[in-house]
Chains A and B, each alone.
Chain A
Amino acid sequence: MRALLDSLKSLYPLDDIVLQRPDLAFATVPAAQVRGLLHHLKEREGFTHLVLLTAVDWLEDGMFQLTYLLHDRARARDLGLRTLIRRDRATMDGIHDLWPTAATYQRELKEMFGIDFPGSPGVDDPFVLEGWTDLPPYRRDFDTKDFSERNFNHREGRVTHDPAAHMKRHLYPDEA
């Protein structure tokens, strides 16, 4: 794994490399280099299996992290590539031509995070949601509990008491 990372480092600007396990590493790549690196990994290094493609919302930094996790079946090792794209311009090149199945992931990311992959087949079709009008739900600024309380009726009659406050009310109501 080390050797691989070293050789990759000489070819691509890898950053923030973490060797999580002997068979799993993560590294950050600039968005522009992602496709090239993925292609390289798939064709040259044996990382032929796209395990997953997903995103992490770093709301505080205004960035989306895309994670491409690749698996090398022959050597049984994984490499996770992170790339950061701006939240307010969430667009990324698709990789459905490298792995057709990536189209599904991209479709999901479009719907759940609002990250666009222009040209990806069916990327604009609704995936799991139907008639959704709010923020893409996986974004951190979407509050699911608040949405649930606003949108759905919950059964009434639930009341709870805080033990400390309850005891204060009964045992020492006048004291500070």
Chain B
Amino acid sequence: MRDELQKRVVKGPDGVEFEVEPLKDYYCEAPPAEHPPAYLKIVEDLFNWARSQSLWILGFGTGCGAIEMRPLMTPRFDAYRYGVQWRPTPRQSNLFIISGYLSVKTLKRVIRSYEQMQNPKYVVGLGSCTINGGMYWDSYNTIKRLDDYLPVDLYIAGCMPRPEALLAGFETLKHIIREGKAEGANLYARNFDWYKANQKKVIHDWDMPDYNW
């Protein structure tokens, strides 16, 4: 058996050590790899500029916040003019907007979608629910802190955040990307075991229907 599939003890970013058994704990065949930025800074800067100007949102309305996506993409706010558009498939998207609370069932699909997205990829948490559980803080079926399960680049306060707040969030995100600080995908790859352990703690049923997405 390959080394990375052996049962072992790893240390998370919070310093806590825990045991993982990849064959049981992951449902992907290979853990994601870290990808370094381009060798030349000027090239990476150009790339980051392009990435910041071309935010493709995955069309996955995970919660209430999805309701504000339509105003965002329509005449009133017209996010297209800021280089934002939505894509129907995770392969082509580089921005995942977690629009509010995530039920455990959705979290599983979100993780799958997130892992299908390509590096670099960004996650924006929308509203109270992604920060600390929001109004569903005592619900048995929603996660409370998104950053336990996915690397989050940005949070936007509100319930729901208005389209204007989202646009402000995009501006901030662009700034972060241009500074080269939006390395969530690499963070995820680096702390994969930790994220997986957290995910596994709440998702008791790892079986995924044979989705075609």
- List residues of A whose CB falls within 8 A of some B CB: 128-134, 137, 142, 144-145, 147-149, 151-155
Note all chain B residues with C-beta closer than 8 A to A133.
204
Note all chain B residues with C-beta closer than 8 A to A152.
133, 142-145, 202
- List residues of B whose CB falls within 8 A of some A CB: 104-105, 108, 131-133, 137-145, 148, 198, 201-206
Q: Which residue of B lies closest to A151 (CB)?
A: B202
Least CB distance from B102 to A in Å reads 11
* A and B contact pairs by CB, cutoff 8 A, 18 listed: A129-B141, A130-B108, A131-B203, A131-B204, A132-B204, A134-B140, A137-B140, A142-B140, A144-B138, A148-B137, A152-B133, A152-B145, A153-B144, A153-B145, A153-B198, A154-B132, A154-B144, A154-B145
Most buried by A among B138, B142, B203, B205: B138
Least CB distance from A129 to B in Å reads 7
Note all chain A residues with C-beta closer than 8 A to B105.
128-130
**CA A148 – CA B204 in complex, angstroms?**
14
**CA A133 – CA B198 in complex, angstroms?**
18
Least CB distance from A135 to B in Å reads 10
Note all chain B residues with C-beta closer than 8 A to A132.
204
**CA A128 – CA B105 in complex, angstroms?**
8
Most buried by A among B139, B141, B198, B202: B141
The main secondary structure of chain A at its interface with chain B is loop
Least CB distance from B212 to A in Å reads 19
**CA A129 – CA B144 in complex, angstroms?**
17
Note all chain B residues with C-beta closer than 8 A to A142.
140
Q: Is the CB of A147 within 8 A of B205?
A: no
Decide: A155 near B145, CB < 8 A? Known: A129-B105, A132-B204: yes
Least CB distance from B103 to A in Å reads 8
Least CB distance from B25 to A in Å reads 14
**CA A127 – CA B143 in complex, angstroms?**
19
**CA A131 – CA B209 in complex, angstroms?**
13
Q: Is the CB of B204 within 8 A of A155?
A: no
Least CB distance from A46 to B in Å reads 39
**CA A107 – CA B131 in complex, angstroms?**
33
Least CB distance from B14 to A in Å reads 10
Q: Is the CB of B132 within 8 A of A148?
A: no
B132's contact among A137, A145, A155, by CB below 8 Å, is which?
A: A155
Q: Which residue of A lies closest to B205 (CB)?
A: A131
Least CB distance from A143 to B in Å reads 9
Decide: A148 near B139, CB < 8 A? Known: A154-B132, A154-B133: yes
Note all chain A residues with C-beta closer than 8 A to B138.
144-145, 148-149
Note all chain A residues with C-beta closer than 8 A to B204.
131-133
**CA A129 – CA B201 in complex, angstroms?**
16
Closest 4 CB pairs of A and B: A131-B205, A131-B204, A145-B138, A155-B132
**CA A144 – CA B201 in complex, angstroms?**
17
**CA A148 – CA B138 in complex, angstroms?**
5
